[in-house]
Amino acid sequence: MVSADSAMREVVSQAYAQRRDAWESAAVRIKHWLKQQQKGLLKNKDISRLDVDGHRIKDPARTLAKLVEKAADDPDLRVSTPQDVENHIRDIVGVKVLCKSPRDQKMMFDSLTDPQQLGAFALIEQKNYVDPPKPSGYRACHVTLQIPSDQGEPVFAEIQVKTRLQDAWGELTHEDMYKPGAAMKPSELHGEFARAMANMLATVDDMADTLAVELSALTNPDLDTTVPSAADDTIEVKVRATGPKYALAVDGDGRQGLIPAFAVRKLSDSKGTIKVNDFISVDDRLRATVEEDSKGLYYIPMALP
pLDDT confidence of residue 189: 86
pLDDT confidence of residue 204: 94
DSSP, collapsed to helix, strand or coil, labels residue 115 as helix
Q: Are 93 and 156 in contact (CB under 8 A)?
A: yes
Phi and psi, residue 261, nearest 5°: -65, -35
pLDDT tens string, the chain, 305 residues long: the values are: 345 678 889 999 999 999 999 999 999 999 999 998 888 888 767 777 889 988 999 999 989 989 988 988 888 888 899 999 999 999 999 999 999 999 999 999 999 999 888 989 999 999 999 989 999 899 999 999 999 999 989 999 999 999 999 999 999 987 776 565 556 676 788 889 989 999 999 999 999 888 877 776 666 654 444 444 444 578 999 999 998 888 999 998 889 988 988 889 889 888 777 889 999 999 999 999 988 877 778 899 999 99
pLDDT confidence of residue 210: 83
pLDDT confidence of residue 129: 96
DSSP 304: -
Q: Are 129 and 5 in contact (CB under 8 A)?
A: no
pLDDT confidence of residue 214: 73
The b/e string for 112-121 (b: 16+ C-beta within 10 A; e otherwise) is: bbeeebbeeb
Which DSSP helix (H) or strand (E) runs through 25? helix 4-42
Q: Is the pTM of this model over 0.85?
A: no
pLDDT confidence of residue 219: 63
The per-type count for the chain, helices as H runs and strands as E runs, is 8, 10
pLDDT confidence of residue 226: 44
pLDDT confidence of residue 178: 58
pLDDT confidence of residue 229: 42
**What distance in Å separates the CA atoms of residue 98 and residue 261, rounded to the nearest whole number?**
26
